[in-house]
Amino acid sequence: MGTGEFMSANGNQGYSPTIRELPQGERPRERLKEYGAKHLSNTELVAILLRTGLQGENVLSLSSRVLMQFDGLAGLGRSTIGELSALRGLSEAKSCQLLAALELGRRSVSQSPQEKVSINSPQDVANLLMAEMSLLEQEHLRVLLLNIKNELLNTHEVYVGNVNSSVVRAAEVLRPAVRENAPSIIVVHNHPSGDPAPSPEDVSITKDLFDAGKLLGVELLDHVVIGNRNRFVSLNEKGLGFS
């Protein structure tokens, strides 16, 4: 599998390094061996199933494109062999592997209680979202809803685009937690530049959410900024906006 230019989902050209060119800590199989399958993103898990990408588009980029095309795992699970095989990069064999894995997942869930993912550190957040969010070409702000045991209840994407204090409203970010009765949240957003260093806007957003959360009885545990090459920053660890 070679290197080169690829056409992203939104039509922009970009460089897609091969999996072998990625650092060991960013390769899906190595991350699965180190952290366990439950800490990998949907993109990474699909990439392991697909195994290989295309000339100029590595398997992580291919997996991200497939998930975007079908609006996530739920849509992917409703797809047919014909629909999958029609996508560039998906053979009939790969399509069968994907649908078989999704069906096994459904059967497993129906036969045993769902195991929840625990989020106890910024590293846990990075393990969960890094592979997917570090590839995004726009800023995305997501909210992780947690129960009293810090187990993940749900994830909501709240903003896409320019994430700054003039756009982000505390009420919008906290609404999913209030609606689903989650006692605490972690906010995560990415920097498409690849540099996770928090901006003054990031600190301002964190402060607004921290203060608003106190009033609504929702604790903001952290705000994690995702960069590239396995880099991330916890604003709580740095004491930014949490006072």
Reported as a single tens digit per residue, the pLDDT across 201-229 is 999 999 999 999 999 999 999 999 999 87
Is the residue at 116 inside a domain? no
Q: Which two tokens stand for residue 17?
A: 């390094």
Confirm if 110 and 19 have CB atoms less than 8 A apart: no
Q: Assess if residue 133 is contained within a domain.
A: yes
At residue 109, the pLDDT reads: 58
Beta partners for 5? 15
Let me know whether 127 and 230 are in one domain.
yes
Q: Are residues 38 and 70 in the same domain?
A: yes
Predicted pLDDT at 2: 32
Shared domain for 72 and 20, answered yes or no, is yes
Residue 103 inside a domain? The answer is yes
pLDDT of residue 239: 96
Check which CATH number belongs to the domain holding 219 and give it: 3.40.140.10
pLDDT in tens, 152-162: 999 999 999 88
Query: Pick from 111, 137, 161: which residue ends a domain?
Result: 111
Question: Could you read off the pLDDT of 160-178 as tens digits, one per residue?
Answer: 988 887 789 999 999 999 9
pLDDT lower than 50: segments of the chain: 1-13
The answer as to whether 241 is a domain residue is no
Report the C-alpha gap between 179 and 85 in whole angstroms: 39
Its domain, for residue 142, covers: 122-234
Question: 18 lies in a domain?
Answer: yes
243 lies in some domain = no
Q: Which residues pair with 232 in a beta bridge?
A: 226
Q: Which helix (H) or strand (E) holds 48?
A: helix 42-50
Pairing of strands 152-161, 139-146: antiparallel
Domain end marker among 70, 88, 111: 111
Final residue belonging to a domain, choices 79, 111, 143: 111
pLDDT value at position 18? 73
* Longest CA span, the chain: 54
Task: State both tokens at 9.
Answer: 């989902």
Pair 225, 127 in one domain: yes
- Do 163 and 139 meet the contact criterion of CB atoms below 8 Å apart? yes
Q: Output the pLDDT for position 23.
A: 77
- Decide: helix, strand or coil at residue 198: coil
The model's pTM is 0.61
Interatomic CA distance for residues 26 and 12, integer angstroms: 23
Is residue 90 one of the residues assigned to a domain?
yes
Q: Where are the beta strands (DSSP E) in the chain?
A: 5-7, 13-15, 139-146, 152-161, 184-190, 219-226, 232-234
